[in-house]
Structure 1
């Protein structure tokens, strides 16, 4: 929720994370979308990064969203690399946010 103008909105019975508000909001991450893997994160990677990520066995093309270039990763808490997960989410945000929203990332305090 530290990303500019982001919010959590329940969709399809799952938490989705969006940038913007109202009808113009855009999803940049969804949790728990795979019926056999309830603990997953779906995100939109950079097109160049997608090629490398899909070669990693931890990532898979999720039903429906995969056709649009989205990927998913299991988020089993004991095994999560939280820094990597934060990077994937921020990259996804950058893929769907407006230029002015992406520009606001530069004004955030560093972690």
Structure 2
């Protein structure tokens, strides 16, 4: 009979390394928080650039975006420009950048609409046509918004799309019209500063991509990565696409039995 070996088992001497937890960047809620960690020169430059923007956009709404190194967003009816402090300079983004007068080719970027300019010194604030680009952006937004649908017109279009889907109804929730499949909300509409804003749900990955487009942003009531977005139909006015997004939201919320009715 073979006796069991009495030799000691070799124990591994390799140390298990724990993955370092990545620190989540704190939510940016002020311009001073946006500048935290930047050099003194960049802070001075960013403050001067901000002063120039607010001099042109005295009534602008200033909000902050935490991702992508953080940005300050300036909105006057619609987004006009974004200020991004970096290590050695600031970038100023224009959402209607491809429509701006840029004969000298100073604006950079390859998207269909966005362009940015690198601002690397206080002197550049006077050398670059920043004020003119801001004014042009405002004029472009005003021209777009002047032809925008009213809240009532947007709501009527929503009713046509949402109530044509099976087992749906309109309810007044929190004082605003919402559309439900069964008892679950899949689309809503609110009036903000006299303009319509739509709320609906997307697949998480799709929502991240769509939020890169003007007029689409994470819903204020959205939890982390749950796919709920807000759409400003004055900026994102492709109603064929909006209808598809509404149906997509319905599909994410509706039970299987109701979806079977839709696909029949």
The structural deviation recorded for 1:39 is 0.5
Alpha carbons of structure 1 residues 43 and 75: separation in structure 2 relative to 1, 3 Å: same
Give the secondary structure class of the aligned counterpart of 1:64.
Answer: coil
Structure 1 residue 86 corresponds to structure 2 residue 243? yes
| Structure with greater contact order relative to length (CA < 8 Å, sep ≥ 6) | 1
Q: Deviations over 1:31-74 (max 9, x none)?
A: 016x4474010000122311211111221112113543200111
The structural deviation recorded for 1:80 is 2.3
Out of 188, 192, 210, the residue aligned to residue 30 of structure 1 is: 188
Give the secondary structure class of the aligned counterpart of 2:212.
Answer: coil
Which structure 1 residue ranges, 4+ long, deviate > 3 Å from structure 2?
A: 35-38
The structural deviation recorded for 1:104 is 1.3
**TM-score, structure 2 normalization:** 0.36
Structure 1 residue 18 corresponds to structure 2 residue 180? yes
Alpha carbons of structure 1 residues 79 and 27: separation in structure 2 relative to 1, 3 Å: closer
Unaligned runs of 5+ in 1: none
Unaligned runs of 5+ in 2: 1-162
Count of residue correspondences: 101
What CA distance in whole angstroms lies between the structure 1 residues aligned with 2:169 and 2:228?
19
Over alpha carbons, which structure has the higher Rg? 2
Instruction: Please give the root-mean-square deviation of Cα atoms over the aligned residues, in Å.
Output: 2.0
Structure 1 residue 70 corresponds to structure 2 residue 233? no
Alpha carbons of structure 1 residues 31 and 19: separation in structure 2 relative to 1, 3 Å: same
The corresponding residue for 1:39 is 196
